[in-house]
Amino acid sequence: GHTIDDQAETVLLGLARGSGARSLAGMRARKGAYRRPFLTMTRADTEAICAHEGLSYWTDPTNVDVDGPLRSQVRGRVLPLLDDVLGPGITSTLARTAEQLHEDADLLEQLGVDALERAIGAQPGDNSPGDAQITLSVEVLSQEHRAARTRALRQAAILAGSPAGTLARRHIDEVDRLLTHWHGQGPIHLPGPVFVRRQSGNLVLSSHTVN
């Protein structure tokens, strides 16, 4: 099971990748059918409890290989160095940061959902997942805060068929320029493939482009 040590490693890896609030929020204790009951306990504590109760457990060999995968190097090299330089407790501090960011990320995502609903609601048609295209009001989206607007654009791209795991910040920034720096540029190609174009005061996301 994942422990607070795993949470700290997740936050550090997210920082190294330049990730946003959702990624830096790390793992959730509850997500759907999954539970992580040891997320507030250290790996050493869980091992000590198992030893005290006479419980056997399996250790992933990569966990102790400091020359192995990147996560293992963070575990074996980076966290001990941070603990030595910044003082003991860095693992708990990183986990506490993740917990606070969960709340922020939840709020920002809800603001994005609300912005998307307003942008879709301003247009005729259903605009439901599976439709041939998603149409968003440029006027409505332009009035939104960038943090909410870019999250709305990301959700719209996913609704239009772009896989969430392939959408990078640079993709969404390019789509956002169709709103904020419009000068007649052509469609933006997103993974999927999904194309986004500005047309008659709207952003149109579809699985085909128009020449």
In this structure, what CATH number is given to the domain that contains residue 100? 3.40.50.620
> How confident is the model at residue 201, as a pLDDT?
92
**Is residue 113 one of the residues assigned to a domain?**
no
In whole angstroms, give the CA distance from residue 164 to residue 182.
25
**Tally of domains within the chain:** 2
Which of 48, 72, 106 is the last residue before a domain boundary?
106
pTM: 0.77
User: 163 in a domain, yes or no?
Assistant: yes
Judge if 87 and 127 occupy the same domain: no
Q: Which domain holds residue 142?
A: 122-206
CATH number at residue 156: 3.30.465.60
Cite the DSSP H helix spans in 43-195.
43-53, 70-73, 79-86, 90-121, 138-142, 146-159, 169-180
- Are 62 and 150 part of one and the same domain? no
Q: What is the pLDDT of residues 28-84, one digit of tens each?
A: 998 889 899 999 999 999 999 999 999 998 888 877 777 888 888 898 899 999 999
On the CB side of 37, CA atoms within 13 Å amount to 2
Residue 86 shares a structural domain with residue 133: no
User: What proportion of the chain, given as a percentage, has pLDDT over 70?
Assistant: 93
In a domain, 115, yes or no: no
Domain assignment of residue 83, yes or no = yes
78, 106, 134: which is the final residue of a domain?
106
Q: Is residue 135 a part of any domain in this protein?
A: yes
Report the distance separating Cα 23 and Cα 14, nearest Å. 6
Q: 131 pLDDT exceeds 60?
A: no
User: Is position 116 within any domain?
Assistant: no
